[in-house]
C-alpha cells in the first residue's frame, strides 16, 4: 500500500521544505509577533487548531495573540495570558446571528478591527473566513503592510452534493459563505489547509500551488496522555468488564450512524457500550429509547479532564458519511484519539483514513457490518489491539505531534514574509 505522503510545504522558487525551515525565524534567533484571528467561541471548532499551534510557537519564543469569541461575555472583552499565549475573548453579542453560525458579532467585529489597527505584529494568521476574521484580517494586513496567512479548515459554502456547512441555510447565506471563503484565500499571501481536499479546492480557485501548504492538525500529546485503563475506570466508577467504544464530538457529526447500531452490536457482544463525550448529544439520544442501555453519556467533558475519560475506552470510533464536506475534513477528535493511545475505527473517508491504514493504528470500515467485524477482531486479538494502540501514540508523539507541525507552519511564515 502506498504510504501517505508527509505534509509538505512548497515555497516560492521550488526551495525545499528543509531549506525554508532552516531559514525560519526561530533558527535565526528572531521572535515573531503573530496575530491569530479565530471565529469560534473558545473551546470549539478551529479554536483548538489555533490554540495548539500558538502554544507551540510561544514555546519557541514567539509572541502570539489569539482573538477568539467569549462564551460568556456579551458586551465587553477579556484579556489574559495562558501558556505564554495572549488570549483576547471578544464580546459575543449577536455572534450567532439568526442561527447561521458564529462570526457575526455586532460588537466583536468592530472591536477586533480597532484592536488590529492599534496593535503591532509581524504577521496575521486568519483561521477560516467569517466576518469577525475576514474584515480585521484583510484590513490589518493592508494597513500594516504585513503578510496574511489564511488557514482553511472546513468547507462552508457551496459543494456539488449539498454537504457544505451552511448549504442548508436559506439564500443568501450559502452565497455569502462561498464568497467570503473564496475571497480571503485569494487575497492571502499564503494558504494553509487542513486537508488535501481543501488544498485542491484552493488551487482550483487559481491560487498558485506554490502558495498553498497542506498541514493537518496535530495531536496534543503533552495534554492528553495514554492513561492506564484500570486506573481511569476506577476513578470514574466504571466496571472493568465493559468494552467501551469512545466518541468525542457533538450532534453535528455523524454519530447518528452508531446509536442504533450499538443495540444490534450488543446482541453479538453484550459487553460493548458506546461512551459519548460532547455537547448536545443527550438531545439526540431521545429518539432512541433503547440507547439508555447501549450508551454511556458523559456529556461535555472539560479538556483538562478529557485524558482520563478517553483512558476508560478500549477503542475509538470515527464515523463519517462519504460527502464532499467530510472528504475535506480533519476532525479535531482524531488527534485526541491518537494521543490517548487506543485503536481507531474509522470510515474510509478523507485523509485520516489513509493515516489509519498506513500507520496501522486502527481499522478502516466501509459499512456497519464491517465495523461489527472490526470490533470483534479487536476484542479477540489483544496483541493486534495493543500494536495499534502503540502505533497511535507513536504517531501522536512524532510525525503528527504539534512540535513537528509547528515547524511546518514556521516554514510557511518565512515564505509568506518573503512573498509579501
State pLDDT tens for residues 341-373.
999 999 999 999 999 999 999 999 999 999 999
State the total domains in the chain: 2
pLDDT digits 0-9 by tens, 52-80 = 999 999 999 999 999 999 888 888 899 99
State whether 71 and 197 are in the same domain: yes
Mean of the pLDDT values across residues 172-177?
A: 74
- pLDDT class of 255 with cuts at 50, 70, 90: confident
Q: What is the pLDDT of residue 164?
A: 65
Same domain, 176 and 237: no
Sheet of strand 63-69, all strands in order from the earlier edge strand to the far edge: 78-82, 85-90, 63-69, 33-41, 123-127, 148-152, 190-193, 212-214
Q: Which comes out higher in pLDDT, residue 36 or 251?
A: 36
Residue of higher predicted confidence among 114 and 166: 114
- pLDDT given at position 96: 57
- Are 25 and 167 part of one and the same domain? yes
Q: 16 and 148 in one domain?
A: yes
In a domain? residue 357: yes
Give yes or no: residues 31 and 163 share one domain.
Answer: yes
| Averaged pLDDT of the chain | 88
Pairing of strands 315-318, 344-346: parallel
Backbone angles phi, psi at 340, to 5 degrees: -70, -15
Q: What proportion of the chain, given as a percentage, has pLDDT over 90?
A: 69
pLDDT digits (tens, 9 = 90+) for 190-221: 999 999 999 999 999 999 999 999 999 999 99
The pLDDT confidence band at residue 292, using thresholds 50, 70 and 90, is confident
Rounded CA separation 202/41 (Å): 26
> 58: domain range?
12-218+401-419
Whether 126 shows a pLDDT value over 60: the answer reads yes
Q: What is the pLDDT of residue 72?
A: 84
Cβ neighbours of residue 244 under 8 Å, at least 6 residues apart?
A: 238, 272, 273, 274, 275, 296, 312, 313, 314
Do 144 and 103 lie in one domain? The reply is yes
Q: Is residue 125 part of a domain?
A: yes
Q: At what angle do helices 173-187 and 131-144 cross, to 10 degrees?
A: 30
Q: How confident is the model at residue 166 (pLDDT cuts 50, 70, 90)?
A: low
- Ranges of beta strands (E only) in 103-224 are 123-127, 148-152, 190-193, 212-214
pTM over 0.85: yes
Is residue 380 a part of any domain in this protein? Answer: yes
Q: What is the pLDDT of residue 343?
A: 98
**7: in domain:** no
Please indicate, yes or no, if residue 72 is contained in any of the structural domains. yes
6 inside domain: no
Judge whether residue 21 has pLDDT over 60.
no
Domain CATH for 164:
3.40.50.2000
Residue 316 three-state SS: strand
State whether 28 and 165 are in the same domain.
yes
Amino acid at each position: 500500500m502506498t504510504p501517505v505522503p508527509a505534509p509538505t510545504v512548497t515555497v516560492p522558487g521550488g526551495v525545499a521544505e528543509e531549506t525554508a525551515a532552516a531559514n525560519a525565524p526561530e533558527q535565526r534567533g528572531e521572535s515573531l509577533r503573530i496575530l491569530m484571528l479565530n471565529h469560534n467561541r473558545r473551546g470549539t471548532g478551529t479554536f483548538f487548531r489555533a490554540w495548539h499551534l500558538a502554544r507551540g510557537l510561544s514555546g519557541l519564543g514567539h509572541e502570539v495573540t489569539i482573538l477568539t469569541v467569549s462564551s460568556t461575555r456579551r458586551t465587553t472583552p477579556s484579556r489574559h495570558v495562558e501558556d505564554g499565549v495572549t488570549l483576547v475573548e471578544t464580546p459575543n453579542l449577536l455572534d450567532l446571528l439568526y442561527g447561521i453560525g458564529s462570526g457575526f458579532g455586532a460588537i466583536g467585529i468592530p472591536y477586533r478591527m480597532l484592536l488590529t489597527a492599534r496593535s503591532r505584529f509581524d504577521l496575521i494568521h486568519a483561521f477560516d473566513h467569517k466576518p469577525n476574521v475576514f474584515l480585521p484580517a484583510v484590513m490589518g494586513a493592508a494597513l500594516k503592510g504585513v503578510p496574511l496567512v489564511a488557514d482553511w479548515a472546513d468547507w462552508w459554502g457551496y459543494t456539488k452534493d449539498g454537504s457544505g456547512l451552511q448549504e442548508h441555510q436559506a439564500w443568501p447565506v450559502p452565497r455569502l459563505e462561498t464568497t467570503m471563503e473564496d475571497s480571503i484565500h485569494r487575497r492571502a499571501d499564503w494558504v494553509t489547509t487542513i486537508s488535501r481536499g481543501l488544498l485542491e479546492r484552493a488551487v482550483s480557485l487559481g491560487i498558485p500551488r506554490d502558495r498553498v501548504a497542506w498541514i493537518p492538525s496535530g495531536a496534543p500529546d503533552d495534554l492528553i496522555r495514554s492513561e492506564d485503563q484500570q486506573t481511569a475506570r476506577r476513578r470514574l466508577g466504571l466496571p472493568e468488564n465493559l468494552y467501551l467504544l469512545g466518541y468525542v464530538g457533538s450532534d453535528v457529526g455523524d454519530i447518528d450512524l452508531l446509536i442504533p447500531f450499538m443495540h444490534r452490536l450488543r446482541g453479538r457482544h453484550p459487553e460493548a457500550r458506546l461512551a459519548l463525550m460532547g455537547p448536545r448529544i443527550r438531545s439526540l439520544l431521545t429518539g432512541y429509547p433503547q440507547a439508555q442501555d447501549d450508551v454511556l453519556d458523559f456529556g461535555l467533558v472539560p479538556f483538562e479532564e478529557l485524558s482520563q475519560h478517553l483512558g476508560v475506552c478500549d477503542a475509538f470510533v470515527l464515523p463519517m458519511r462519504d460527502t464532499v464536506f467530510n472528504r475535506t475534513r480533519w476532525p479535531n477528535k482524531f488527534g485526541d484519539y491518537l494521543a490517548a493511545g487506543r485503536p481507531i475505527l474509522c470510515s474510509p473517508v478523507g485523509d485520516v483514513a489513509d493515516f489509519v491504514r498506513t500507520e496501522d493504528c486502527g481499522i478502516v470500515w466501509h459499512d456497519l457490518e464491517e465495523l461489527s467485524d472490526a470490533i470483534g477482531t479487536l476484542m479477540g486479538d489483544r496483541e493486534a489491539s495493543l500494536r495499534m494502540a502503540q502505533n497511535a501514540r507513536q504517531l501522536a508523539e512524532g510525525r503528527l505531534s504539534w512540535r513537528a507541525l509547528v515547524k511546518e507552519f514556521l516554514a510557511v511564515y518565512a515564505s509568506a514574509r518573503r512573498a509579501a
